[in-house]
Chains A and B, each alone.
Chain A
Amino acid sequence: MWERLYIASGNRLPIIMTTVNRALSAPINIHCDHSDAMGARDAGWIQLYSENAQEAYDNLIQAVRIAEHRDVRLPVMVCMDGFIISHSIERMEMLDDMPVRNFIGPFKANYPLLDINNPVTYGPIDLQDYYIEHKRQQAEAMKLAGPVILEIGKEFGETFGRSYGFFEGYMLDDAELVIVGLGSSTGTVRSVVDELRAKGIAAGLLKLRTFRPFPAHEIAAAIGGAKAVAVLDRSDSFGAYGGPLFSEVRSALFGKNDAPPVVDYIYGLGGRDFGIADVHGIFDDLQDIVQNGAPEDEVQYITVRE
């Protein structure tokens, strides 16, 4: 289905897709990892990741506004973890229909197909003459999506009490040991950050919400002062140097003065459990990196039998 994703974004269609993240076959597996959405990361869709049911719900409402914004006009994937969130029950707050309707507002088509007084062509062939200009516009729209995501996240907060940005920092301001991740496992990381803080260890979490467009400068500013950073990737990019999130985070920090060492942990593929002890193991590694420097092997596989 990959090219269809590119067709949706190339046609600038403000489609919203709830992506319940699951592993890809083979072997056959129906459980959570991020291989599906990460495989589509170059398809020109905005990607918002959710930690829990509440965030999936809130992101979905905001996604409509983001996708339909006249500066953007791009499809949005709202990602939530398969089974861990999609097939479990947890408490969340639903909003009343009318305030949500008012927040989203009416859809306004820019170039309606049925406007017979102003006929337009949809999905035409576009070869050497204009294709690259259209792709350049798409790149610009993705760039412009950044401020729109922030503006709508803020307005959502003012209206409904829960604000959203590109990411959420937890105990990040003075953190020396930082984990960067996305999806449901970040909640587990947060509980370990609390444990470590209670012991006086300066641990912190950066939970990424917006993977596309990737907020490279903002992430570099938020974690550039850390002493060691671990990235959690719930998908692999076979043959690449680390998982997709690692590549982006490390690239965001590259060339910055005193940038901290960044290591990658590929975990939880096919729904393999990622527990509190696993998070402790990563923070232990980070403490070791602060004392002894980064290991030669910067990319590791965890929660796996080897």
Chain B
Amino acid sequence: MEKQFTEVRWHGRGGQGAVTAAKVLAETALSSGKYVQAFPEYGPERMGAPLRAYNRLSDTPISIHCQVTNPDVVVVVDPTMIGTVDVTDGTGNNTLFVINTNENAGQVKEKLGLDKQKLYTVNATKIALETIKRPIPNTPLLGALAKVSGLINIDDLLADLEKNFSKKFTEQIVTANLNAVKRAYEEVAGE
């Protein structure tokens, strides 16, 4: 039976905002009328510990409540995950990869042993350092994801981020995050 929804798996480390990114992705998709799930894989929560977070996005209600084992989209938030955890686990030829790295798509594909899959890279850490002034690559990655995945629209993302982040952060931080999203949207590149 054909899958009714898109499944996303995030690989990051504690403190980089992967869990928040999954949450923002769900909320943005929700505001555009989709059915959503966002759930992190909670372990002992430590800064720097490898973690995964997941999304399901669908036009129809989602009834399953289990782990994502065959993701349609894989987002790597931390470049050091490559080679340390199997970010290709359960993926297929149609899986889309979005990687935070200073390398180009061809180099990363070779490292991961990928061939036909679509893979895009963006230097989200650099963008974050230059805009937000902190190495939190989550929001730029959402911008990249909006560009290459078609899961969310960039305008919806910016509107949703502004609304949600304004509750918690200063205007300066909110603007920096929006700029980070826009830059990654422009800079993300395939082969």
Contacts and interface: CB of A to CB of B under 8 A. Distances in A.
Interface of A: 30-31, 51-52, 81, 83-85, 87-91, 184-185, 187-188, 190-191, 194-195, 198, 273-276
B26 A89 contact: yes
B1 A195 contact: yes
B64 A276 contact: yes
Nearest to B34: A91
18 contacts: A30-B42, A31-B42, A85-B65, A87-B40, A87-B42, A89-B26, A89-B36, A90-B62, A184-B65, A185-B65, A187-B63, A188-B63, A188-B66, A191-B64, A194-B1, A275-B66, A275-B69, A276-B64
Nearest first, the 10 closest Cβ-Cβ pairs linking A and B are A88-B39, A187-B63, A184-B65, A89-B38, A275-B66, A273-B67, A188-B64, A89-B26, A195-B1, A90-B37
B23 A273 contact: no
A39 B3 CA distance: 38
A274 B69 CA distance: 11
B42 A52 contact: no
A273 B96 CA distance: 24
Contact of B65 (A30, A52, A91): A52
Given A52-B65, A187-B64, A194-B1, 6 more contacts: A84-B65, A88-B37, A88-B40, A190-B63, A198-B1, A275-B67
Interface string B131-172: 000000000000000000000000000000000000000000
A184 B67 CA distance: 12
B27 interface: yes
B64 A81 contact: no
Interface residues of B, number: 21
Interface string B45-56: 000000000000
Contacts of B26: 89
A304 B166 CA distance: 45
A225 to B, nearest CB: 25
Nearest to B67: A273
Contacts of B62: 90
B42 A84 contact: no
A94 to B, nearest CB: 13
B173 interface: no
Interface in B1-43: 1, 23, 26-27, 30, 34-40, 42
Interface of B: 1, 23, 26-27, 30, 34-40, 42, 61-67, 69
Contacts, number: 58
B39 A84 contact: yes
A88 B40 CA distance: 7
Contact of A91 (B1, B35, B39): B35
A167 to B, nearest CB: 16
Contacts of B66: 185, 188, 273-276
Contacts of B40: 87-88
Contacts of A195: 1
A89 B39 contact: yes
Nearest to A187: B63
Contacts of B67: 273, 275
Contacts of B1: 194-195, 198
Contacts of A83: 39, 42
A275 B54 CA distance: 15
A163 B117 CA distance: 45
Interface centre among A89, A187, A190, A191 (most CB of B within 10 A): A89
Contacts of A190: 63
B26 to A, nearest CB: 5
Contacts of A275: 66-67, 69
A222 B30 CA distance: 37
Contacts of A273: 66-67
Chain B CB within 10 Å, residue with most, of A30, A83, A91, A198: A91
Given A31-B42, A195-B1, A275-B69, A91 B64 contact: no
Nearest to B53: A88
Nearest to B69: A275
A91 B30 contact: yes
B19 to A, nearest CB: 10
A89 B22 CA distance: 9
